Structure formats: C-alpha cells, structure tokens
Amino acid sequence: MTITLYGYATSPFVRKVACYLHYKKLSFEFVGVSPVEPEKTIGFTKGSQVPVLKIGDEWRLDSSSIGLWLDEVYPERRLVSDNAEDREIALAIDQWISEQFIPGIVFRPALDGEMNEGFKKRAWRLASIVSSGAELSETVQKSWPDLLRQAPFIHHIVNQLDLSEPLEAMQMRLFMELTQYLDTGPYLGKLDKPSLADFAIYAQMMFFYQVGLVKDLPVLAHPTVGPWLKRVSEHLPQNPWCVDETFITNSWPFG
Ligand SMILES: N[C@@H](CCC(=O)N[C@@H](CS)C(=O)NCC(=O)O)C(=O)O
C-alpha cells in the first residue's frame, strides 16, 4: 500500500511522524503542504492541520494517533509496546511532550522575546525549508517572522502553558523533567526499546541542530541525554527530516 506523509518539515509533529516511518522501515512519499494554501494538497481533509498520513485510501490526523494507527497496520517495530505497563508509561510521556515539551521548547520562543535579527534569520530559514516542499512566494517568505508571530495555531498551543513561568525557567524545568523521564535509560520511561516519545523529542533537538537553526548541541555533553540521543539516532537515517541534504549544514555529531 502506498504511504504518503503530507506536511511541512518545520512542523514538530510532521517530523515525529517521519521518524516513526523511518523507524518502522516503511518507504513513503512526502508531499510538501503550503501553510498558506493547504487546500491544494490536503483539501481532502477539509482542514489545514498537518501532519496527515495516508495509507492506501485511508488517512488520519494527529501525530500520536498516527503512531498508534501505524502500529495497528504495521505491528513490527512497535512505537508503543503491547505490554500494558510499558504502553501506559510511553503514552504518558508522549502526552507530556505534546502538552508541555513541544509547546514550551519549540513554540513559545516563536512568540516571546524581541523581533531581532537573530529571530528574523531563523524565521526566514524556516520559510525557505517550507518553500522547498511547497513553494512560497518571496513576499510570503519575507513576512515569515511576522506570520509566525501571528499564527493562530501557535497562539492556541502556547496559551495552554502556564505563561506566568518565565520562558527560561520553563525551558530549564522541561529539560530537567526530560532527564527524570530518561533516568538511566536506555529509552524514555526506562523502557528497553524506543517508543513514539523518544522520536518526538529527538525530532526537535536534532532537527534544529542539523539544519543550522542552532549553532551547536550542548545537550550532547549531558551524561545521560547525550548518549540517549546517539542511541535513538541509530534507529534512523541521518536525515529523516523530509528536507533536501543541502539544508543539513551542521556536521553529524556522533563520530
Ligand atoms: N495534535 C496535533 C497538532 C498538529 C499541529 O498543531 N500542526 C500544526 C503545524 S505544527 C498545524 O497544522 N497548524 C496549522 C493548522 O492547524 O491549521 C498533532 O500531534 O499532529
């Protein structure tokens, strides 16, 4: 059956699903969606939300639900264990990632802070990545810093956080919580195999580093998080991000 992933590589949820597919060794076609004209590619959903995964004639929305669906259709290399206890652990961590980690680490910085040169440069780089999948006009790309700031779905996601906690404190707390979930590993929740939760975090830290949105990856020096990232990387190709190799500007960090 043909598998098609619709989305844009700048979406943390799309990147999660790309990792799921690679982990399961399923070949798929990536169809770039334009966030300003989503109807051109995902009109069949009657909405604008990505990722959308299509298998044969069926399609689903929502990255975590897509993970569970993939396990149903392709039970090998499960994203969620069929052992009830391990399943509960993975799903609870995945929920924390969707409700806390991704909103706090990926989206809140897009709304907080100054609209300075650094912010604009990162936004333009994101626009060029989106445009490589579904062409955006130059005017739209130029306005990307403002468009990001205004995006209703980003406001919706960020407004679910407790914004009385300063951004830096929130990010430090989330990182600490990550180390607690990982504990001694080998995978999140001390599970012995990777789950959808491991890919959900890997897809954020590694993408931002590999496409040069951050200069380096200081977490590599962390005694448990560094080796865990390497461990997760061993289940995936070096570029699972649905972007052309030319966007990968930072060198592979694991020897
Ligand atoms: N819970 C969903 C969230 C998906 C989501 O928020 N996607 C964003 C892109 S990062 C989107 O499609 N925004 C545009 C829209 O919702 O219209 C998931 O896990 O897939």
Model confidence over 9-59: pLDDT tens digits? 999 999 999 999 999 999 999 999 999 999 999 999 999 999 999 999 999
DSSP annotation of 251 = P
Query: Which atom of ligand 1 approaches the CA of 49 most closely?
Result: 12
Q: How far is the C-alpha of 223 from the C-alpha of 82, rounded, in Å?
A: 30
Of the residues 73, 107, 130, the one at which a domain ends: 73
What average pLDDT score do residues 240-249 get? 98
Asked whether residue 254 is assigned to any structural domain, the reply reads: no
Count of Cβ atoms closer than 10 Å to residue 230 Cβ: 13
Model confidence over 139-181: pLDDT tens digits? 999 999 999 999 999 999 999 999 999 999 999 999 999 999 9
Q: What is the pLDDT of residue 122?
A: 96
Same domain? 208 vs 235: yes
CA of 95 to the centre of ligand 1 (A): 15
Same domain? 90 vs 171: yes
Query: Which atom of ligand 1 approaches the CA of 35 most closely?
Result: 14
Q: How far is the C-alpha of 212 from the C-alpha of 206, rounded, in Å?
A: 10
- The per-residue pLDDT of the chain, averaged, comes to 97
Of the residues 73, 92, 122, the one at which a domain ends: 73
Same domain? 115 vs 172: yes
- Structural domain including 157 reads 84-247
Pocket (CB within 6 angstroms of ligand 1)? 11-13, 48-51, 62-64, 98, 153
Looking at the chain, the whole-number percentage of residues with pLDDT higher than 90 is 99
Count of Cβ atoms closer than 10 Å to residue 175 Cβ: 16
Number of domains the chain is built from: 2
Asked whether residue 253 is assigned to any structural domain, the reply reads: no
CA of 255 to the centre of ligand 1 (A): 34
- pLDDT of 255 over the 90 cut: no
What average pLDDT score do residues 183-188 get? 97
Asked whether residue 28 is assigned to any structural domain, the reply reads: yes
CATH of the domain at 68: 3.40.30.10
| DSSP state letters, 98-153 | IIIIIIIIIIHHHHSS---HHHHHHHHHHHHHHHHHS---HHHHHTHHHHHHH-HH
Same domain? 58 vs 129: no
Same domain? 112 vs 40: no
Same domain? 101 vs 169: yes
Q: What is the pLDDT of residue 71?
A: 98
CA of 223 to the centre of ligand 1 (A): 33
Q: What is the pLDDT of residue 198?
A: 98
At 47, list the tokens: 């909405």
Same domain? 118 vs 179: yes
Q: What is the pLDDT of residue 2?
A: 98
Q: How far is the C-alpha of 41 from the C-alpha of 218, rounded, in Å?
A: 38
Model confidence over 207-230: pLDDT tens digits? 999 999 999 999 999 999 999 999
Q: What is the pLDDT of residue 87?
A: 98
Going by pLDDT thresholds of 50, 70 and 90, the confidence category of residue 113 is confident
Model confidence over 63-111: pLDDT tens digits? 999 999 999 999 999 999 999 999 999 999 999 999 999 999 999 999 9
- pLDDT of 203 over the 90 cut: yes
CA of 7 to the centre of ligand 1 (A): 9
Q: What is the pLDDT of residue 54?
A: 98
Query: Which atom of ligand 1 approaches the CA of 11 most closely?
Result: 10
Query: Letter for the amino acid at 107?
Result: F
CATH of the domain at 149: 1.20.1050
**For the chain, where are the alpha helices, taking DSSP H only?**
12-23, 39-42, 63-73, 84-96, 108-111, 117-133, 138-142, 144-150, 152-158, 167-182, 196-210, 225-233
Pocket test for ligand 1, best of 11, 46, 111, 150 (most atoms within 8 A of CB): 11
Same domain? 130 vs 23: no
Same domain? 103 vs 18: no
Of the residues 47, 73, 99, the one at which a domain ends: 73
